[in-house]
Structure 1
Amino acid sequence: MGRFTFRLPDIGEGIAEAEIVAWHVKVGDMVEEDGRLADMMTDKATVEMESPVAGMVLEVAGETGDVIAIGSPLVVLEIEGEGNQVDGDAGREAAKSAPAAIVEEPALPEEPAAKPEPVLAPEPVSVSPTAPVEPVPAVTGTAAPSPRAPAGHARVMASPAVRKRAADLGIDLGEVRPAEDGRVRHADLDAFLAYNSAGGFQPAGHRGRDEQVRVIGLRRRIAENMAASKRNIPHFAYVEEYDVTALEELRGQLNEGRGERPKLTMLPFLITAICKLIPKYPMLNAHYDDEAGVVARYGSVHLGMAAQTPAGLMVPVIRDAQDRNLWQLAAEISRLAAAARDGSAKSGELSGSTITVTSLGPMGGVATTPVINRPEVAIIGPNRIVERPMFVKDASGIERVEKRKLMNISMSCDHRVVDGWDAASFAQDLKNLIEAPALILAG
């Protein structure tokens, strides 16, 4: 038998370390060749590590959330043959003493069942006249009174289930009038609640449990990126109201005749409008390298699309969004969102954006102040659509009140690169396109 050390391989250009986000084996497990060992996250993607040999796991190099350098031991296996550890006993001792190595802890013995608390006296029980009654043994000890049990009502008769329900509801059993034989039943509690519905006896909610959750994997990347963005970028926000009545009518007409094509949402229209305006406002489609003091402005719009997934927030990228039509954008939005949710998005699809759009759909709120996706300099967030009465001029110039569909669009910009005037001008030009949607479709 020999020992085989599997070291973390080079999993990407420029990658120096990776974080353990999930283990698929533990010490003592048998693993087949090409069997799953662990999931490792880099700055760009999550990579699944597979075993090159079959064997039994002897050591693993850390817990979930630990960061491992490229080339460091990840798993040590016991295999048939000589293995690949050629450094002798000294190497084994060094591996055993490495702080990252962990071993499976033995299972703790089960705790003995808790002893029942002594009580002062047995509760009265209803018995049939013919049923034999066994003598009740004497009970010794002193019991602490229930914190909910008020003084003066110790002789109220009720089953343990009724007592527990009353305690959960905060009801003093001494205030409940039993319907028969002096014993409080569930029906008596129901009647008490019905006649005292305004007394606040229903609990406000269920008590949860306290817990500590490690911030690892994608959630830690999100936390680090957001903190760096807010720490380094002087954000400013600009919010404008848009009348999207005509745009929603156009969207409905296009969807009626879409056939096999994907359904159009608001996003393809907004992205198309943004792409039309970027040549006029190139400073918004840029990266700022604050260390070098250089702004890189891009001719192509690689549009980041913030997407909520079970693992957390991801930003898949629509490459060359300016070259796509509405239907192509809708298809790419759907494809990338699905890939982000099921974890199949490739690293190249999750990096390289030049400007980002973030949308919460119907939950978009009245206005938002989104955090910029560093090193970008702008992020745009449409909010939810609401219907409100507005003054609208008819063909003769007379104002009348109409029900209109309105939506706020929020922008956050890097004030080191984007001036407030530029952001406001962009928002007004965007408003002209959104409120006259034929201009969005015009070449």
Structure 2
Amino acid sequence: MAQDIEMPALGESVTEGTVSRWLKKVGDQVAVDEPLLEVSTDKVDSEVPSPIAGVITEILVEEDETVDVGTVVCRVGAADEVGATAPAAPAAPAADETPAPAAAPAASPVPAAPAGGSAPAGGGQAVEMPALGESVTEGTVSRWLKKVGDKVAVDEPLLEVSTDKVDSEVPSPIAGVVTEILVQEDETVDVGTVLCRVGDSAAAPAETSVPAAPEASATPSAPAAPAAPPVPAAPPAPSLPENPAELPGAGIPSSIKREGDHHVVQWAYPQVHTGYPGTMTARGQVVPPSDNAPAVPAAPAAPPAPKDVETPAAPKPPAAPPAPAAPKAPAAPTPPAAAPSAKPADKPQAAKQVSGGYVTPIVRKLAREKGVDISTLKGSGVGGRIRREDVLAAAQKPPAAPAAAPETPAAALPPIQPAQERGKTEKLSRMRQTIAKHMMNSLASTAQLTTVVEVDVTRIANLRARAKDSFAQREGTKLSFLPFFVKAAVEALKAHPKINSRVNDETNEVTYFDHENVGIAVDSEKGLMVPVIKNCGDLTIAAIARKINELAAKVRDGSISIDEMSGGTFSITNTGSRGALFDTPVVNYPEEAILGLGTIVRRPMVVKDSEGNDTIAVRSLVYLALSYDHRLIDGADAARYLTTVKKRLEEGDFSAEVGM
């Protein structure tokens, strides 16, 4: 029976999620812990991995559909479903095939997955909407990556799910075929709702083998023809990856883990991820597609293969129609040959899809760690997906030595190339829609304005230059300017509680927080995300630096959790990292203020010398811009806060905190 894959809880206060994109479609095989879909919420995008290996039998929530936590988004069928029923159904065809080639019926019944076909019709393993966070109760199917009839491998993404906080993929728990999709794209369902069902890999071919019975009863002379349809059950298999000898290296995937104690399917098991879309046996062995096909009986013993060929050859001469069926009977040995032919055809397509194709956060993180440029890779996975094996292979290649060549023409700046999106019309991503909604809500709910001051950070620049190397060796992380700004901003919050407060519009009350949870805006491929450093006021510069780098890495590789995106009381955005002098950032509502950091520039400035005389010197200067809610914070309040930050940065001593 198929296992339901539910919309997971993605955070403490998240009750629903939106399916951003399906990474698998019905019929696709998935491996354990392989991403099925992407789910998005107001705060974060996340993948939903499959708890079991099998085939996607049904997708119940479509892309861009928002459903409650616990809603079943798809179903994944167990790998052994068809295996249990296959022997029963074939018995009937064997009786019909009474002719001399009794051996032929025996071979066809096993592959003729009629019994398997009935399983998908009834379901297969259900894939449910997973819990994507502690308080998330629903999710939306953003996009189905697989459709009914598609084969999936264990842990291969089926669909994308989104919530208010995160987008995530839902992987297939088993290898098999998607037999049913129960939740359409843009539909929002509760966590635990069955999204689709995945049956065994033999389930999909079963539909083609059903007509075999009617044909047999229609003409007694054509029993051989019915026997052939069951054999074609193999065609889907050749389209899958090659033979077991080429199985990718095993490894424990590091997909996003489910938050909270929801009793929904556990979608982050420490299983061995083969990345191979075959059928997972009870012992954890992967049976390649060619073995899932009618070749199962022939594979155990090499001799049977010739026997099968002889059998169809004997009865076929008398009748011309059966003759064409003969080539289909030997389909068992043929798959290996067909697979290679299909693969080359898919390769060029894969290469084209890589540039605009989806890369799972796990693979993206691995590429970042290995220093591999994903845009230069050609995926070897289904549909051209870039797999971890592709990244590892690229990492092992010696670095290209054409360094000298580029240096020569470096004198001339290459012309600006037009972006791929130019001239296109496409739908806004779920994350982009969420950001837009939050920005408009913030501007509509608060009276915002911005105050700017200029700060001389020459002392900090000199201190950082002296300490950054030893700091990196000692702390294991880089020392940027940002931790200094965060430290000064947090200390000033303690002295100016209005900036670190929240207004309750319903009760007309204001709460002044006794802790500083600082959100750090991070630029990612999916859009601006704001992970939160909890109790930042208690941390040292070293601890702040580590936390910033850790959260930024999680955002960019897609492993950030909903809880790490929630609970902020004040935010900081570093627009200067892209060269902006200053900005007027939008307050991250319901917070009351946000601090924007401009780029640090060297320019002449009038300063006092040791004797108190005015002199001109080149200094490191930066603009700090504070946007705030004028309903509570006045311009004078903002100016006083910025002055405190300015004095701390210009006159404070951070030497001890950086080990100097």
TM-score tier after normalising by the smaller chain length: 0.5 to 0.7
Matches within 5 A, 1:147-296: 209-258=422-471, 259-261=473-475, 262-296=477-511
Partner of 1:182: none
Deviation, structure 1 residue 324: 1.5
Deviation, structure 1 residue 70: 3.8
Give the match's secondary structure for 2:567.
coil
Aligned CA distance change for structure 1 residues 63 and 323 (closer, same or farther; 3 Å)? same
Deviations 1:218-259 (A, max 9, x none): 222212211211121111100011111222122222225434
The structure with higher relative contact order (CA 8 Å, sep 6+) is: 2
* Contact 2:56–2:74 (CA under 8 A) maintained in structure 1: no
Task: Write the letter of the residue equivalent to 1:48.
Answer: V
Q: Are 1:307 and 2:522 counterparts?
A: yes
Give the match's secondary structure for 2:550.
helix
CA distance in 1, matches of 2:630, 2:521: 22
Q: Are 1:48 and 2:261 counterparts?
A: no
Aligned CA distance change for structure 1 residues 231 and 28 (closer, same or farther; 3 Å)? same
Aligned CA distance change for structure 1 residues 98 and 230 (closer, same or farther; 3 Å)? closer
Task: Write the letter of the residue equivalent to 1:331.
Answer: R
Deviations 1:284-305 (A, max 9, x none): 1122332332322211111111
Give the match's secondary structure for 2:63.
coil
Aligned CA distance change for structure 1 residues 40 and 256 (closer, same or farther; 3 Å)? closer
* Contact 1:36–1:51 (CA under 8 A) maintained in structure 2: no
CA distance in 1, matches of 2:637, 2:60: 52
Partner of 2:345: none
CA distance in 2, matches of 1:386, 1:404: 8
Q: Are 1:28 and 2:27 counterparts?
A: yes
Matches within 5 A, 1:81-100: none
> Which stretch has the larger CA shift, 15-24 or 372-381?
15-24
CA distance in 1, matches of 2:184, 2:538: 57
Deviation, structure 1 residue 93: 13
CA distance in 1, matches of 2:16, 2:603: 53
Partner of 1:66: 65
* Contact 2:32–2:49 (CA under 8 A) maintained in structure 1: no
Give the match's secondary structure for 1:260.
helix
CA distance in 2, matches of 1:215, 1:28: 28
Length-normalised TM-score, structure 2: 0.46
Give the match's secondary structure for 2:521.
strand
CA distance in 1, matches of 2:539, 2:531: 16
Aligned CA distance change for structure 1 residues 324 and 76 (closer, same or farther; 3 Å)? closer
When the two structures are aligned, how many residues end up with a matched partner? 335
* Contact 2:521–2:572 (CA under 8 A) maintained in structure 1: yes
* Contact 2:74–2:182 (CA under 8 A) maintained in structure 1: no
* Contact 1:240–1:427 (CA under 8 A) maintained in structure 2: yes
Partner of 1:393: 608
CA distance in 2, matches of 1:277, 1:23: 45
Matches within 5 A, 1:334-413: 334-413=549-628
* Contact 1:236–1:412 (CA under 8 A) maintained in structure 2: yes
Deviation, structure 1 residue 22: 2.1
Partner of 2:649: 434
* Contact 1:6–1:51 (CA under 8 A) maintained in structure 2: no
Aligned CA distance change for structure 1 residues 392 and 74 (closer, same or farther; 3 Å)? closer
CA distance in 2, matches of 1:221, 1:5: 31
Aligned CA distance change for structure 1 residues 203 and 249 (closer, same or farther; 3 Å)? closer
CA distance in 2, matches of 1:206, 1:40: 27
* Contact 2:520–2:532 (CA under 8 A) maintained in structure 1: yes
Deviations 1:347-366 (A, max 9, x none): 22111111111103442422
Name the one with the larger helix percent.
Answer: 2
Give the match's secondary structure for 2:616.
strand
CA distance in 2, matches of 1:26, 1:371: 39
* Contact 1:37–1:51 (CA under 8 A) maintained in structure 2: no
CA distance in 2, matches of 1:206, 1:273: 39
* Contact 1:219–1:312 (CA under 8 A) maintained in structure 2: yes
* Contact 2:60–2:73 (CA under 8 A) maintained in structure 1: yes
CA distance in 2, matches of 1:269, 1:203: 35
Give the match's secondary structure for 1:228.
helix
Which of 510, 521, 533 is the equivalent residue of 1:318?
Answer: 533
Task: Write the letter of the residue equivalent to 2:54.
Answer: A
Aligned CA distance change for structure 1 residues 397 and 35 (closer, same or farther; 3 Å)? closer
Partner of 2:332: none
* Contact 2:602–2:620 (CA under 8 A) maintained in structure 1: yes
Aligned CA distance change for structure 1 residues 96 and 254 (closer, same or farther; 3 Å)? closer
Higher gyration radius (CA): 1
* Contact 2:61–2:181 (CA under 8 A) maintained in structure 1: no
CA distance in 1, matches of 2:68, 2:8: 10
Length-normalised TM-score, structure 1: 0.66
* Contact 1:18–1:41 (CA under 8 A) maintained in structure 2: yes
Aligned CA distance change for structure 1 residues 263 and 396 (closer, same or farther; 3 Å)? same
Deviation, structure 1 residue 330: 1.4
Deviation, structure 1 residue 216: 2.6
CA distance in 2, matches of 1:303, 1:357: 7
Deviation, structure 1 residue 96: 10
Task: Write the letter of the residue equivalent to 1:218.
Answer: M
* Contact 2:20–2:64 (CA under 8 A) maintained in structure 1: yes
Deviation, structure 1 residue 21: 1.5
Deviation, structure 1 residue 53: 7.0
Q: Percent identity?
A: 30
Aligned CA distance change for structure 1 residues 52 and 284 (closer, same or farther; 3 Å)? same
Q: Which runs of 5+ in 1 are unaligned?
A: 86-91, 103-201
Deviation, structure 1 residue 18: 1.4
Give the match's secondary structure for 2:595.
strand
Give the match's secondary structure for 1:61.
strand
Q: Which runs of 5+ in 2 are unaligned?
A: 86-118, 125-178, 188-194, 197-414
Task: Write the letter of the residue equivalent to 2:460.
Answer: L
Deviations 1:153-201 (A, max 9, x none): xxxxxxxxxxxxxxxxxxxxxxxxxxxxxxxxxxxxxxxxxxxxxxxxx
* Contact 1:8–1:69 (CA under 8 A) maintained in structure 2: no
* Contact 2:61–2:185 (CA under 8 A) maintained in structure 1: no
Give the match's secondary structure for 1:40.
strand
> Which stretch has the larger CA shift, 340-349 or 248-257?
248-257
Partner of 1:6: 4
Aligned CA distance change for structure 1 residues 346 and 428 (closer, same or farther; 3 Å)? same
RMSD of aligned alpha carbons: 3.6
* Contact 1:391–1:401 (CA under 8 A) maintained in structure 2: yes
Matches within 5 A, 1:141-152: none
Task: Write the letter of the residue equivalent to 1:260.
Answer: R
CA distance in 2, matches of 1:51, 1:203: 46
Give the match's secondary structure for 1:346.
coil
Aligned CA distance change for structure 1 residues 396 and 25 (closer, same or farther; 3 Å)? closer
Deviation, structure 1 residue 20: 0.5
